[in-house]
């Protein structure tokens, strides 16, 4: 395999940035993810891809559901906060205040571009990340304009 070509081409796949939140057994997850795509019109499905050694994957596996918070165009600083493991402090996480989502009761951030509430319907667990397929059960627009495109940040996740 031409490693250089593989890396360059995989990094050409366009992505936006999101903060995925979830909670189960008293544990909360909130982390910035980029490997997200729509996967069906009817029912509405999305896939998110989660690092298998992360706290976030552990929590999503237990909860079998999550909220996908869409970052706004100008929220690069917010995205950066959620690259590491964070604990909730009251109604704050990573310095951002959250509310509880109406259906699945996971954290949601009003000051983002919107959120989807998603229930897991299947996973493919063949590599160092797990592909999680989930049905969109609820959706609400937020207060800022999205998306935050990975290509606008200078960061890379892929290759
Ligand atoms: C630009 C960028 C994009 C990322 N995209 C993903 C992703 O799609 N899936 C994922 O599991 N981790 C992704 N990460 C890593 C997570 O943000 C990181 O592992 C997570 O916040 C760790 O927190 P946790 O241990 O609480 O899960 C990305 C990191 C960066 C820098």
Pocket test for ligand 1, best of 14, 56, 63, 150 (most atoms within 8 A of CB): 56
**DSSP sequence for 101-124:** -TTT--EE-TTSSEEEEEEEEEEE
Residues 65 and 61: their CA atoms lie apart, in Å, by: 8
Q: What is the pLDDT of residues 55-108, one digit of tens each?
A: 999 999 999 999 999 999 999 999 999 999 999 999 999 999 999 999 999 999
Question: Residue ranges of the domains in the chain?
Answer: 3-36+57-117+139-152
Predicted confidence (pLDDT) per residue in 1-60, tens digit: 999 999 999 999 999 999 999 999 999 999 999 999 999 999 999 999 999 999 999 999
Query: Which CATH architecture best describes the domain 3-36+57-117+139-152?
Result: Roll (2.30)
* Secondary element (H or E) of residue 66: strand 65-70
Given a contact cutoff of 8 angstroms between Cβ atoms, the answer to whether 60 and 104 are in contact is no
User: Among candidates 123, 114, 71, which has minimal Cα distance to 94?
Assistant: 71
Q: What is the pLDDT of residues 94-118, one digit of tens each?
A: 999 999 999 999 999 999 999 999 9
pLDDT at residue 83, rounded to an integer:
97
Distance from the alpha carbon of residue 102 to the mean position of ligand 1, in angstroms: 25
Residues 119 and 134: beta-carbon distance below 8 Å = yes
């Amino acid at each position: 395999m031409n490693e250089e070509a593989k890396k360059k081409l995989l990094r050409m796949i366009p992505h936006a940035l999101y903060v995925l939140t979830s909670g189960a057994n008293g544990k909360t997850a909130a982390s910035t993810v980029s490997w997200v795509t729509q996967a069906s019109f009817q029912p509405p499905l999305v896939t998110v891809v989660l690092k298998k050694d992360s706290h976030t994957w552990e929590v999503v596996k237990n909860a079998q559901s999550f909220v996908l918070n869409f970052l706004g165009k100008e929220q690069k600083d917010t995205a950066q906060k959620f690259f590491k493991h964070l604990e909730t402090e009251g109604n704050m996480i990573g310095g951002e205040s959250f509310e509880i989502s109406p259906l699945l009761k996971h954290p949601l951030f009003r000051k983002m571009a919107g959120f989807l509430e998603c229930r897991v319907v299947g996973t493919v667990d063949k590599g160092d990340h797990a592909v999680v397929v989930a049905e969109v059960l609820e959706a609400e627009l937020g207060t800022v304009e999205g998306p935050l495109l990975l290509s606008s940040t200078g960061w890379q996740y892929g290759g």
